[in-house]
Amino acid sequence: MLLVTDAHKSYGKNPVLEGVDIEVKDGEIKGLIGVNGAGKSTLIECVCGVKKFDSGEIRIGGYDTSDRKARKIIKNTIGYMPQSFRLFNDLTAEENLKYLCAVYRLPKSKADDVMEICRLTGHRKMLAGNLSGGYRQLLSMAGAIVHTPKFLVLDEPTAGMDPIFRRQFWDIIREYRKTSATVLVITHYFEELVECDTFACLANGRIAFNGSLAEFKQDGLLNIEQILNKYTF
Amino acid sequence: MEKFRFLKILGFEAKRILRNKVIFVMLMVFAILTILVLYIVQSATMRYDVAVWEEDGIKLTETEIYDVLCKPLDEVNLSYVSSEEEGVERVKKQEVVFFVHVWKGETGEPRAVIHYDASNRVVALLVSEFSELRIDRSLDSILEFFEEKGITLDVISFSTEQVSYEFTHTQRTFVAELAAFVSLVLLLGVAYSLARDRETGVSQNVAYIPIGHNAYFLSKLIPYFLLGIFEMLVLCVLGAKLMAISFQINLFIVWLLSSFFVMATLSLGLLFSTMRSQISTAFCAMVSILLPMFVYLLVVVSALPVAAQVILNFLPVMPFITMFGTMIYNGVILWWYVPIFLAQTIIYYCLALWVMKKKA
- Dihedral of CA B197/B199/B203/B209: which sign? negative
- Secondary structure (3-state) at B32: helix
Contacts of residue B208 in chain A, CB cutoff 8 Å? 48-50, 75, 78, 80
Nearest alpha-carbon partner for B354 in B241, B242, B270, B244: B270
Q: What percent of the residues of chain A are helix, what percent strand, and what percent coil, each to the nearest 5?
A: 40, 25, 35
Nearest alpha-carbon partner for B286 in B269, B308, B271: B269
Residue B190 has a CB neighbour count (10 Å cut-off) of 30
Residue A7 has a CB neighbour count (10 Å cut-off) of 25
pLDDT for A229 equals 64
Q: What are the beta bridge partners of residue B47?
A: B75
Residue A226 has a CB neighbour count (10 Å cut-off) of 13
pLDDT for B350 equals 94
Among B10, B22, B209, most A C-beta atoms within 10 A, so best to mutate, is: B209
Examine the pLDDT at A56 and tell me if it is beyond 90: no
Contacts of residue B204 in chain A, CB cutoff 8 Å? 50, 82, 86
Q: Which residues of A136-159 are buried (b: 16+ CB within 10 A; e: fewer)?
A: bbbbbbbbbbbbbbbbbbbbbbbe
Closest residue in A to B201 (Cα–Cα): A86
Closest residue in B to A91 (Cα–Cα): B16
d(CA A161, CA A170): 12
Beta-sheet strands, E only, within chain B:
47-54, 75-80, 98-104, 110-117, 153-158
Burial of A193 per CB tally in 10 Å (0-12, 13-18, 19+) = buried
d(CA B162, CA B68): 10
> pLDDT tens, A157-199?
888 788 888 888 888 888 888 887 899 988 888 778 888 888 8
pLDDT for B151 equals 28
d(CA B126, CA B156): 11
Q: How far does Cα A10 stand from its chain's mean position?
A: 21
Mean per-residue pLDDT over chain A, rounded = 84
pLDDT for B261 equals 92
Among A51, A58, A73, A75, most B C-beta atoms within 10 A, so best to mutate, is: A75
What is the mean predicted confidence (pLDDT) over A66-85? 85
Q: Which residues of B162-187 are buried (b: 16+ CB within 10 A; e: fewer)?
A: ebebebbbbbbbbbbbbbbbbbbbbb
* DSSP per residue, B138-191: -HHHHHHHHHHHTSSEEEEEE-STT------HHHHTHHHHHHHHHHHHHHHHHH
pLDDT in tens, chain B (360 residues): 555 777 888 888 888 877 777 766 776 777 777 677 766 666 655 667 888 999 888 888 887 777 766 766 667 888 999 998 888 888 777 678 778 888 887 777 777 777 776 555 566 555 555 444 433 344 455 445 434 433 233 334 333 222 334 566 667 777 877 888 888 888 888 888 888 888 888 888 888 888 888 888 888 889 889 988 988 888 888 888 877 777 878 888 888 889 999 999 999 999 988 887 778 888 888 888 888 887 877 776 766 778 888 888 888 988 888 888 888 877 788 888 899 999 999 999 999 999 887 776
End-to-end CA distance of chain A: 29
Residue B9 has a CB neighbour count (10 Å cut-off) of 18
Backbone angles phi, psi at B54, to 5 degrees: -100, 135
Contacts of residue A89 in chain B, CB cutoff 8 Å? 200
d(CA B21, CA A24): 45
- The pTM for the full model equals 0.72
d(CA A144, CA A138): 10
Nearest alpha-carbon partner for B175 in B115, B129, B227: B129
Residues of chain B whose beta carbon is less than 8 angstroms from a beta carbon of chain A are: 1, 5, 8-9, 12, 15-16, 19-20, 200-202, 204-205, 207-211, 360
Top-tier CATH class for A2-230: alpha beta
- Secondary structure (3-state) at A219: coil
Residue A157 corresponds to which amino acid? Answer: P
Contacts of residue A51 in chain B, CB cutoff 8 Å? 360
Burial of B247 per CB tally in 10 Å (0-12, 13-18, 19+) = middle
pLDDT for B68 equals 64
pLDDT for B46 equals 60
Q: How far does Cα B225 stand from its chain's mean position?
A: 20
Interface contact A102, partner B, CB < 8 A: yes
What is the mean predicted confidence (pLDDT) over A12-41? 85
pLDDT for B267 equals 93
Quote the minimal CA–CA distance from B296 to chain A in Å.
39
Residue B22 near residue B69, CB atoms below 8 Å: no
Q: How far does Cα A117 stand from its chain's mean position?
A: 18
d(CA B267, CA B351): 9
d(CA B46, CA B54): 25
Domains and CATH numbers, chain B: 2-42+173-359 (no CATH), 46-158 (3.40.190)
Record: contact B208-A99, CB cut-off 8 A: no
Residue A103 near residue B12, CB atoms below 8 Å: no
pLDDT for A105 equals 87
For B62, which DSSP code?
G
Residue B173 near residue B41, CB atoms below 8 Å: yes
Does an H or E element contain A31, and which? strand A29-33
pLDDT for B137 equals 41
d(CA A94, CA B334): 49
Residue A21 near residue A4, CB atoms below 8 Å: yes
Residue A126 has a CB neighbour count (10 Å cut-off) of 16
> pLDDT tens, A98-144?
998 988 888 888 889 989 888 888 888 999 888 888 888 889 999 99
